[in-house]
A and B are shown apart, each in its own frame.
Chain A
Amino acid sequence: MAVPAVAPRRLEGLDRALPVWVAAALALVFLMGLPLGWLAWMSVSGESGFTFRHYEKVVADPALRRALWNTVVMAFWVGLASVAVGAPLAWLTARTDVPGRGLIRALVLASFVTPPFLGAFAWVMLAGPNAGLLNRLWRSATGAEAPLLNIFSMPGLIFVVTIYTFPYVYIMVANTLALIASDLEEAGAILGAGRLWVALTITLPMVLPALASGFILALLQALALFGSPAILALPAGFHTVTTQIWSLFQFPPKVEMAAAFSLPLFLATALLLAAQKRLLGRRGYAAVGGKGGARRVIALGRWRLPALAACLAVMACAIFLPYGILAKAAFSRAWAQPLTWSNLTLKNFTFTFFEYSATQAAIVNTLELGVLTATVGAGLVALLAYVTSRRLVIGHQVIAFFALAPVVIPGVVLAVALFIAYTRPPFLLYGTLWILFIAYLTKEMPVGYAQADATFRGIPTELEDAGRILGAGRFRVLRDVTAPLARSGIIAAWCFVFIGVIRELSASIILFTPSTKVMSVVLFDLKEEGQFGAIAVLGLVMLALTFATVALVQAVLGRDVLGARD
C-alpha cells in the first residue's frame, strides 16, 4: 500500500510542474533565446564561417567610437543629474511639510509616464536656439544676441533626458524614506545637530543604496533611449549608440555590424544591473526594513515656499512648458508665431486624422498591440508570479530570473535581435504585428512581473492555507481566495504593460513595416519631415491615452502608482 501512496504524489508534482515548465521554456526560447542567439551568431559570422571582423570594424571605426563615448558621457550625466533632482524632491515630499505634496507626487508621476521623445520634441520648440519660445522671450527681455539655451547640444540632450528620467531616482528614494523610521534622525536632532546636518549625516547615508541604485536605473534608461538623441543629437551632428545602430540599417544594411555594436550596450546594461542588485541586496542597513517606528514630518519653516517653488520649477520643465507648447502647436498654423486669431486653426487636427492616411491605421495598430500585449502579458506574469511566489514548481527561482532578465536588453538591441531571428525561415514574422508583439511582450515582461510578484507576496498565504484545510482544492482556492485578492494588482500590471507599449519607439523603429506602423513610428516619420502641427496633435492623443490608463490604475489600486506610501 505504501508504494502506490507515494507514486501518485510524485506524479501530481510532476503534472503540475510539467506544463508550467514547457510554457516557460517555450516563451523563453521565442522571446529571448532565439533572437539573442541569432544576434550573437550574426556578430561573429562571416562569409567563410567564424570571424571577429565585425568587432574589429566596430572598434576601428572612429564614428562608432565617438557614438560610444557620447553615450557614456550622456548616460553618466543623466544619472548624476537625475539624482540631483530626484533625491531632494523625494525627501521634500516624503519627509517635510512642503505644501502641495500630493500635487508634486502627481506631477512626478506625469513626468514618469510622459514619452521622452515627446518631451524632446516639445523642447525643440521651447529652446531651439533661435526660434525657441524661451530664447525669443530671453532676447526680447534682455536684448541679447546669443540664445539663452541651445537644446541641440550635449547639455541640452542631458537636460531633456534627465527631466523624464529623474522619477526613477525619486521612486527609489521616496520608497526607501517611507521605510526608514525617524528615531535616528530625532536622536541626532536632540544631540544638537541642525536640520541640514541631520539630513546630510544621518538620512543621506541610510538612503545611499537607494540613491546609487536610482543612479544606475537612470543611467540605464539613458543608455537605451532612442527618440531623444535622434531628435536632439542628430541635428547637432552627433550620434549615440542607439541612433548609430539604427543608422546601420540604412541601405545597404550592415546588420552584422549592428549586431556587433549591440553587444557592448547589452553587456554594459547587464553589468550595471548586477551592480544595482548587489547594492540593494546588502543587508548592512538595519534601520531600513519593516514599517515600524514613526516618521516625523520635518517643518521647513520659512523654507516652505521656496521649496515648493523649486519643485514647481522642475515640474515646469518636465510638464507645464512642454505640454503647453504642444497644445499651442496643435492649434497653430505656424508654431513659432504668437497664438493670434489668424494663427489659430483646427487644420492640424483635420490633417492628422482625416488627410494623413497613416494615422488611423497606426492608432488601431497601437491599440490592438497594447491590448493584446497587456492581456497576454498580464496573464503570463500572473501565472509566473503565482508559481514563483508560492514555490509551486522545482526551479522557480530560474523562472523568476528569466522573467526579469529582459531588463538587461535595451529596446534597440532587442529589435536588432528580433529582426535577425524573424526575417528568415522558419519563423517569418517581420512584416506582421506579431514581431512587434514579441518585442513588446519581452520588453514589458519585467515591469509586469515585478508588479504581479509584489501582488502575490502581499496576499498572506494563511488565507489560502485556511481554504485548503477546509477541503478546497488548489484551483478552487485560487479561484475563490487568491484571484479576488490579486485582481487589482494584476489589472495594474495590465496597465503598466499597456502604457509601456503605446509609447515604445526604440524597438518599433527597427521592426515596423509600412503596414504595421504604430503611433510612435508615425510621430517619428512626421518629425523627420518637420510636420510640427501633426506631431503635436498625435502627441496629445498619446498623452491622453496614457493618462486615461494611469487614472484607471489609480482607481483600481486606490493609491498612486509610484509605489509604497503608507
Chain B
Amino acid sequence: MLMRSLLAVFIILSLLPTGEAGAQTPLVEAAKREGKVVWYTSLALPSAEKVAKLFEAAYPGIKVEVHRTGSQRILQRVMQELQANIKNVDVVHTSDAGHFVLLKDKKLLARHTPAGVERFPAGFKDKDGYYYGLRATVNVIAYNTQKVTAAEAPKTWKDLLDPKWKGRMVTAHPGYSGVIATHVLALVHLHGWEYFQALARNQLMLVQSAVDPSGVVASGERPVAVNGGEYTFYQSKKQGNPVEIVYPKEGVPLVVSPTAITSFAPHPQAARLFTDFSFTREVQQVMADSEGLYTGQPEVKYPADKPKLTDLKLLTAEPEELEKRNEEIKKRFVEFFGA
C-alpha cells in the first residue's frame, strides 16, 4: 500500500517537469474549463480507479468519473443511452475490439491519435485512427496450489476436458466480458465449438467478469480457472494467494483492449487530455508494474517473473470477426453452459 502510494507520487513528480502535464497548454486550459471526463471502462475496478486518481493528481481540477463494468455491459449502456438521446460518455474502453468496429461504423467515435502510439505494434492500432489499444492481457489457465499440485495441474486447453475436473472449474462469461468473448472466439478457431460443448460437460461454475475467476480460485471455491485475464491472476499471486498460472502450449488468446473518444463527447477536450495521459509511457508503465498488464508501448519494462509477450504463442481474434460473431458467441455459450 505504502509502496504503491510512493510509486504514484513518484510518477506524478516525474510527469510534472518533463511531460505536458505541468505545462498550461491550450488543451489543458480547455479541459480544465470542462472540469471532468466520463470514462466507461472495463479495466478491473481497482486498476481503473488508480489510473483516474493519477490523472486527477496530474491535472487538478479535472475529475474522472469512472464507470466500471463488463465490456458487453458498456456497449449495452452506450447504445441504450443513445437510444434515449443521452450523451454522457466521453471515453469508451472495453476489451472487445469488435465493439469499436461497430461504434466506428455507426459514426459514434471521434478520430484522435494520442502522442507516441505510432510506435505501438500493429495489433494496437486502428488503421483509420479511431481507436488504440490501451492495454493487453492474455487468457490463461490458473489453479489453486493448495488444492492442485503442479504435476496434476492442466497444461493445455484440452486437458480441461478431462472428467477428473468435473465440478472443480470456473469460467467467466462472454456475455459480460470482452476478454472472455475474445477468448472464446480464439479457442473456437483452435478447437471448434465442440471444445466448449465438451468443456460444459464438466459442470463449470459461471461467473461474469474476467476478473472474478482469480478470486474464485484464490478462495478455493473452484481450484481451476479455465480462462480469465492473466493480469488478475498475476496480481492475486503477488498478493500472496496460492495461485499459479499456466500458459497452455497450444497458445494463449491475446486480448487487446482499445480505447476511443465518442463523437458526441460532452467533454471532448478533457477526453483528449485523458486519453493522451493514459498512453504516456509513465501510465503504461504503471499498468505493467502494479497491474501486471501488457501494453503496446515499446519502452515499457515488465516484471522479471512474467513471460514476455514475444515469448508466448499468441492466438488472435480479428476485431471485424468479433463484431460479426458477437451474438453467436454469446448465444452458443449460453446454450452449452445454461445461463
Whether B209 and A528, one on each chain, are in contact in the complex, defined by CB atoms closer than 8 angstroms, is: yes
Interface string of B49-86 (1 = CB under 8 A from A): 10011000000000011111110110111011101111
The yes or no answer to A285 lying at the interface (CB within 8 A) is no
Taking the closest CB of chain B, its distance from the CB of A141, in whole angstroms, is 17
- Give the complex CA separation of A152 and B76 in angstroms: 27
Whether B223 and A130, one on each chain, are in contact in the complex, defined by CB atoms closer than 8 angstroms, is: yes
Whether B76 and A63, one on each chain, are in contact in the complex, defined by CB atoms closer than 8 angstroms, is: no
The segment from A157-165, A248-256, A289-297, A315-323 that touches chain B is: A248-256
For B335, the closest partner residue in chain A by CB is A63
Q: Which B74-103 residues have C-beta < 8 A from chain A?
A: 75-77, 79-81, 83-86, 88-89
Interface string of A479-518 (1 = CB under 8 A from B): 0000000000000000000000000000000000111000
- Give the complex CA separation of A59 and B79 in angstroms: 28
For A234, the closest partner residue in chain B by CB is B339
Whether B209 and A357, one on each chain, are in contact in the complex, defined by CB atoms closer than 8 angstroms, is: no
The yes or no answer to B40 lying at the interface (CB within 8 A) is yes
The yes or no answer to A239 lying at the interface (CB within 8 A) is yes
Selected from B77, B207, B339, the residue in CB contact (under 8 A) with A530 is B207
Whether B215 and A355, one on each chain, are in contact in the complex, defined by CB atoms closer than 8 angstroms, is: no
Whether A251 and B76, one on each chain, are in contact in the complex, defined by CB atoms closer than 8 angstroms, is: yes
Please name all residues of chain B whose beta carbon is closer than 8 Å to the beta carbon of A351 when the two chains form the complex. Answer: 46
Known: A128-B221, A249-B76. A513 touches B86 (CB 8 A): yes
The yes or no answer to A356 lying at the interface (CB within 8 A) is yes
For A431, the closest partner residue in chain B by CB is B86
Whether A530 and B220, one on each chain, are in contact in the complex, defined by CB atoms closer than 8 angstroms, is: no
The yes or no answer to B245 lying at the interface (CB within 8 A) is no
Please name all residues of chain B whose beta carbon is closer than 8 Å to the beta carbon of A128 when the two chains form the complex. Answer: 219, 221
Q: Which B132-187 residues have C-beta < 8 A from chain A?
A: 147, 167, 175-176
Known: A250-B76, A357-B65. A530 touches B212 (CB 8 A): yes
Please name all residues of chain B whose beta carbon is closer than 8 Å to the beta carbon of A514 when the two chains form the complex. Answer: 38, 40, 65, 67, 77, 88-89
Taking the closest CB of chain A, its distance from the CB of B73, in whole angstroms, is 8
For A515, the closest partner residue in chain B by CB is B88
- Give the complex CA separation of A357 and B209 in angstroms: 19
Taking the closest CB of chain B, its distance from the CB of A329, in whole angstroms, is 11
Whether B338 and A253, one on each chain, are in contact in the complex, defined by CB atoms closer than 8 angstroms, is: no
Interface string of A224-249 (1 = CB under 8 A from B): 00000000011111110001000101
Known: A250-B76, A423-B83, A515-B88. A525 touches B219 (CB 8 A): no
Please name all residues of chain B whose beta carbon is closer than 8 Å to the beta carbon of A515 when the two chains form the complex. Answer: 65, 88
- Give the complex CA separation of A366 and B70 in angstroms: 23
- Give the complex CA separation of A249 and B72 in angstroms: 11
User: For A130, A234, A247, A336, which residue has the most chain B Cβ atoms within 10 angstroms?
Assistant: A130
Taking the closest CB of chain B, its distance from the CB of A340, in whole angstroms, is 13
For A124, the closest partner residue in chain B by CB is B221
The yes or no answer to A129 lying at the interface (CB within 8 A) is yes
The yes or no answer to A308 lying at the interface (CB within 8 A) is no
Whether A253 and B79, one on each chain, are in contact in the complex, defined by CB atoms closer than 8 angstroms, is: yes
The yes or no answer to B32 lying at the interface (CB within 8 A) is no
The yes or no answer to B327 lying at the interface (CB within 8 A) is yes
Q: Which B176-225 residues have C-beta < 8 A from chain A?
A: 176, 203-209, 211-212, 214-216, 218-223
The yes or no answer to A396 lying at the interface (CB within 8 A) is no
Whether A251 and B206, one on each chain, are in contact in the complex, defined by CB atoms closer than 8 angstroms, is: no
Please name all residues of chain B whose beta carbon is closer than 8 Å to the beta carbon of A251 when the two chains form the complex. Answer: 72, 75-76, 79
Please name all residues of chain B whose beta carbon is closer than 8 Å to the beta carbon of A355 when the two chains form the complex. Answer: 46, 49, 53
Please name all residues of chain B whose beta carbon is closer than 8 Å to the beta carbon of A234 when the two chains form the complex. Answer: 206, 208, 339
- By size class, the interface of chain A is 35 or more
* Other contacts beyond A130-B220, A238-B338: 15, CB < 8 A: A129-B167, A131-B219, A233-B339, A235-B207, A236-B206, A239-B338, A239-B339, A250-B175, A336-B218, A356-B45, A356-B49, A358-B67, A423-B84, A514-B89, A528-B209
Some 11 contacts from A to B, beta carbons below 8 A apart, are: A131-B219, A234-B206, A236-B338, A243-B339, A250-B175, A358-B66, A431-B84, A515-B65, A528-B209, A529-B68, A529-B208
Taking the closest CB of chain B, its distance from the CB of A345, in whole angstroms, is 10
Q: How many residues of B contact A (CB 8 A)?
A: 61
Known: A355-B53, A357-B49. A528 touches B175 (CB 8 A): no
The yes or no answer to A76 lying at the interface (CB within 8 A) is no
Q: Which A236-291 residues have C-beta < 8 A from chain B?
A: 236-239, 243, 247, 249-253
The yes or no answer to A430 lying at the interface (CB within 8 A) is yes
Q: Which A371-389 residues have C-beta < 8 A from chain B?
A: none
Please name all residues of chain A whose beta carbon is closer than 8 Å to the beta carbon of B207 when the two chains form the complex. Answer: 235, 528, 530
For B336, the closest partner residue in chain A by CB is A237
Please name all residues of chain A whose beta carbon is closer than 8 Å to the beta carbon of B221 when the two chains form the complex. Answer: 128-132, 336
Selected from B1, B49, B84, B215, the residue in CB contact (under 8 A) with A428 is B84
Whether B44 and A529, one on each chain, are in contact in the complex, defined by CB atoms closer than 8 angstroms, is: yes
Taking the closest CB of chain B, its distance from the CB of A357, in whole angstroms, is 5
Whether B223 and A247, one on each chain, are in contact in the complex, defined by CB atoms closer than 8 angstroms, is: no
Whether B223 and A357, one on each chain, are in contact in the complex, defined by CB atoms closer than 8 angstroms, is: no
Please name all residues of chain B whose beta carbon is closer than 8 Å to the beta carbon of A249 when the two chains form the complex. Answer: 76, 80
- Give the complex CA separation of A355 and B79 in angstroms: 28
Known: A525-B69, A528-B212. A237 touches B206 (CB 8 A): yes
Please name all residues of chain A whose beta carbon is closer than 8 Å to the beta carbon of B84 when the two chains form the complex. Answer: 423-424, 428, 430-431
- Give the complex CA separation of A442 and B187 in angstroms: 47
The yes or no answer to A334 lying at the interface (CB within 8 A) is yes
Please name all residues of chain B whose beta carbon is closer than 8 Å to the beta carbon of A250 when the two chains form the complex. Answer: 72-73, 76, 175, 330
Taking the closest CB of chain B, its distance from the CB of A374, in whole angstroms, is 27
For B220, the closest partner residue in chain A by CB is A131
The yes or no answer to A335 lying at the interface (CB within 8 A) is yes
The yes or no answer to A53 lying at the interface (CB within 8 A) is no
Please name all residues of chain B whose beta carbon is closer than 8 Å to the beta carbon of A101 when the two chains form the complex. Answer: none
Whether B216 and A530, one on each chain, are in contact in the complex, defined by CB atoms closer than 8 angstroms, is: yes
Whether A528 and B176, one on each chain, are in contact in the complex, defined by CB atoms closer than 8 angstroms, is: yes
The yes or no answer to B120 lying at the interface (CB within 8 A) is no
- Give the complex CA separation of A515 and B53 in angstroms: 19
